């Protein structure tokens, strides 16, 4: 006689312990254990329990294994099916965001990406003018089945010289079609300039842009308030070289601005189509805050300070830059680029610190929903014979219409900033 109670077991992604009982009047053995599953015994005499311990599942995929219990003196066999999910909810199939992804009119490398978490096999389809790279394997999006989670890097593989933007959709689908994710994609026409990756602060913003195939320079002008191109048709435009991908500005808190841009194929020519973006800077009210405060100088000349969070913050990022003469938005941009590296710390408690020399300390709060605050706290430490504490100051010539290019390190922004 040979039988097994609980012939089907399921574990969550955290792993755990479950017990089954083998009922027999003979010697028996257990076969088929995978590396992620441990058994308290692999053989026994007569009826005995077996404790199975599953390790935590970090593969990003559901996993299954069939165990076999065999009688040593007969042909009797019993099976136990064990399944472990990739997370506690079972099937996972999500992406970081489904908003429109914009691409330049020219071909380029890794212009955008999709961060996918999947516990099941999946496929992806998309337009012929886009190519992808998943786990180091370049390919087109033609519906081939794939496994696992990771970053799908996207790039244009066809230049486009149409006047208007061309649009399409990327579709991700599970193997059996029970879940589908669609992401709109657009490739810029020759007249188009589009703001992307905009980040708004209480007193400034930065933004990258995408443009058409012939764009060499971009004409730009920034106005306070909401205006249309007809109102400002005769105003003076300035331009930036296309090799600079970021616009910077200092703005007034809680105020609307209109940024207008035009594509320029050369320094002396420009297209007449005006692309406008309305920007509203954030107010500091009800924002997560990690305030740098209690600054005081010790007898030996060092500076002590504290970082205290308000009720809206769950944590904060902090770093220091030796540079003390950048504009405020540039410091924030630099810190944003370094999040996820050894140069930026993350804390969920108030902290105290000591500064030994010239530098700028930056603290950026994270809200309880996991998003970055629109307020960035900074403190500038500058050597002085005075006993007065140094203070943050904005360059006096930085008005709202001054868009400045700053030569920042070319560091890729993390895809999951708060992971």
pLDDT tens over the chain, length 419 residues: 888 887 889 888 778 999 988 888 888 888 889 989 999 998 888 888 999 999 887 776 778 999 998 888 878 888 989 998 875 455 788 898 899 999 999 988 778 999 998 888 899 999 999 999 999 899 999 999 998 899 999 999 999 999 999 999 999 998 878 789 999 999 999 999 998 888 888 888 888 888 999 988 898 888 888 888 777 766 778 888 776 666 777 788 888 988 888 899 988 888 888 888 888 888 888 899 999 988 887 777 778 889 999 999 999 999 888 777 777 777 888 888 788 777 888 999 999 988 877 778 889 999 988 889 998 988 887 765 433 333 333 333 322 222 233 333 333 333 332 22
Q: Where are the domains of the chain?
A: 2-84, 93-187, 194-280, 290-381
Residue 143: half-sphere exposure toward Cβ, Cα within 13 Å: 2
End-to-end CA distance of the chain: 53
* Neighbouring C-beta atoms of residue 397, cutoff 10 Å: 7
- pTM (two decimals): 0.64
Tell me the CATH number for domain 290-381: 2.60.40
**Highest CATH level, class, for 93-187:** mainly beta
Fold held by 194-280: Immunoglobulin-like (2.60.40)
User: How far apart, in whole angstroms, are the C-alpha atoms of residue 307 and residue 316?
Assistant: 9
Do 93-187 and 194-280 have matching folds? yes
User: How far apart, in whole angstroms, are the C-alpha atoms of residue 349 and residue 11?
Assistant: 34
Buried b (16+ CB within 10 A) or exposed e, 196-224: beebebbbbbbbbbbbbbbbebbbbbbbe
Select 2-84's CATH number: 2.60.120.260, 3.60.110.10, 1.10.150.120, 2.60.40.10.
2.60.40.10
Counting beta carbons within 10 angstroms of the beta carbon of residue 243, is it exposed (0 to 12), middle (13 to 18) or buried (19 or more)? Answer: exposed
């Amino acid at each position: 006689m040979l039988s097994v109670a609980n012939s089907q077991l399921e574990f969550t992604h955290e792993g755990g312990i479950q017990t089954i009982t083998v009922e027999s009047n003979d010697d028996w053995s257990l076969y088929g254990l995978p590396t992620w599953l441990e058994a308290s015994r692999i053989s026994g005499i007569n009826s005995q329990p077996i404790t199975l311990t599953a390790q935590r599942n970090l593969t990003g995929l559901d996993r299954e294994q069939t165990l076999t219990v065999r009688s040593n003196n007969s042909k009797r066999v019993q099976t136990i099916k064990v399944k472990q999910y990739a997370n506690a909810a079972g099937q996972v199939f999500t992406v970081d965001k489904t908003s429109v992804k914009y691409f330049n009119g020219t071909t380029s490398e890794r212009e955008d990406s999709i961060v996918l978490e999947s516990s099941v096999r999946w496929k992806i389809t998309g337009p012929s003018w886009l190519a992808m790279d998943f786990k180091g394997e370049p390919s087109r999006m033609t519906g081939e089945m794939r496994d696992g989670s990771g970053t799908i890097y996207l790039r244009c593989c066809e230049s486009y010289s149409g006047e208007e933007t061309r649009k399409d959709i990327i579709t991700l689908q599970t193997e059996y079609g029970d879940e589908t994710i669609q992401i709109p994609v657009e490739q810029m026409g020759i007249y188009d300039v589009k703001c992307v990756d905009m980040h708004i602060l209480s007193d400034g913003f930065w933004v990258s842009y995408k443009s058409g195939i012939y764009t060499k320079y971009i004409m730009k002008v920034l106005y306070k308030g909401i205006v249309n191109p007809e109102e400002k048709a005769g105003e003076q435009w300035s331009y930036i070289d296309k090799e600079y991908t970021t616009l910077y500005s200092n703005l007034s808190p809680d105020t609307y601005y209109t940024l207008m841009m035009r594509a320029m194929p050369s320094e002396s020519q420009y297209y007449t189509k005006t692309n406008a973006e309305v920007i509203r800077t954030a107010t500091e009210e009800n924002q997560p805050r990690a305030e740098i405060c209690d600054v005081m100088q010790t007898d030996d000349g060092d500076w002590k300070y504290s970082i205290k969070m308000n009720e809206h913050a769950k944590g904060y990022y902090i770093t220091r830059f030796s540079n003390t003469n950048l504009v405020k938005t540039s410091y924030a941009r630099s810190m944003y680029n370094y999040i996820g590296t050894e140069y930026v710390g993350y804390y969920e408690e108030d902290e105290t610190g000591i500064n030994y020399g010239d530098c700028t300390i930056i603290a950026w709060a994270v809200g309880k929903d996991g998003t970055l605050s629109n307020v960035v706290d900074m403190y500038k430490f500058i050597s002085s014979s005075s006993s007065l504490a140094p203070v943050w100051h904005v360059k006096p010539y930085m008005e709202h219409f001054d868009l400045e290019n700053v030569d920042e390190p070319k560091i890729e922004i993390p895809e999951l900033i708060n992971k």
